Amino acid sequence: MISVQHLKKKFEKECVVDIDDVMIERGTIYGLLGSNGAGKTTLLKMLSGIIKPTTGTILFENEPIYENKKLKERLIFIPDQPFFFQHYSIRQLADFYREQYPSFDEARFNECEQIFKLDTKKKVHTFSKGMQRQVSFWLALSAMPDYLILDEPFDGLDAVVRKKIKNLIVRDVAERNMTVLISSHNLREVEDLCNYIGIIHRGKYVIHRDIDDLKTDVHKVQIAYKTTPKALFSNFNVLHHETRGSVHMFIIKGDLDAIDSYIKETAPILSDVLPLTLEEIFVYEMEGIGYAMDHVLV
């Protein structure tokens, strides 16, 4: 488990990360979302033990990550800009990873060779940006980390390679209980992969929730009456309401059975309760707590 408490990072006087209390269980695939400058990279670098928090604690299985060599042998961070030794070949880099990461797995390295099909003797700087990113994944996934931290990981990768990488990640989570943290601006890109979502805005958490909980908790109701009752859904947590002609559309947070029985009691001439896409849920949840989504996600 990863536990973050009272975490602050200041650059000069500006506080760019300010988090009270966040827990991430082993085996979670966690999507960290937020607009440019929200603090995602800074948070991921602190979680990877690369930069030191100004105050607060980050514990992995009750141990601090910063300057913890043993823990770092089980953690891989892929930054948004590849930083590895550009004048090394994949083969030379694999030698380096083998030394750094005791759980480096030859079978996985060979399996990835079939997936990425890159020349292991070529120097990394001779590859394109997307190919270099593939090399990062190839090495990271061969090291079989318990914690994989990815900053904007899919930028520059084509759809086929993305799919293959996502499959490998999901396999490692299912088989080895790997924990994955992925930052992105793009909800659609991570929603098929993640089971937990965090949104940060100006360094602070706005949402930290299980995706299944979110999906079962918010409903879209389309409803029409001969004579619309007064104070419709007034006892419910309505995140949004609009009217199109005689049809009302409500976004309601709460128990589906309670919503269904209320609808029956009010005898509408037509009604429909629909699921929301994850993007719609975020838009309405954020609206409910006073944030405009377009400032948070692009």
Ligand X SMILES: Nc1ncnc2c1ncn2[C@@H]1O[C@H](COP(=O)(O)OP(=O)(O)OP(=O)(O)O)[C@@H](O)[C@H]1O
Give the total of residues touching ligand X (CB under 6 A): 11
Contact stretch for ligand X (CB under 6 A) within 38-46, 135-143, 208-216, 246-254: 38-46
Q: Does 227 bind ligand X (CB under 6 A)?
A: no
Task: Please list every residue from 179 through 218 that binds ligand X, using CB under 6 A.
Answer: 185
CB nearer to ligand X: pick between 157 and 297:
297
Q: Does 74 bind ligand X (CB under 6 A)?
A: no
CB nearer to ligand X: pick between 41 and 48:
41
- List residues bridging with 149 in a β-sheet: 77, 181
Q: Does 136 bind ligand X (CB under 6 A)?
A: no
Please report how close the Cβ of residue 71 comes to ligand X at its closest, in angstroms: 22
Binder to ligand X among 38, 65, 148, 173 (CB under 6 A)? 38
Please report how close the Cβ of residue 172 comes to ligand X at its closest, in angstroms: 25
Task: Please list every residue from 18 through 37 that binds ligand X, using CB under 6 A.
Answer: 34, 36-37
Q: Does 42 bind ligand X (CB under 6 A)?
A: yes
Where on the chain is the footprint of ligand X (CB under 6 A)?
Answer: 11, 16, 34, 36-42, 185
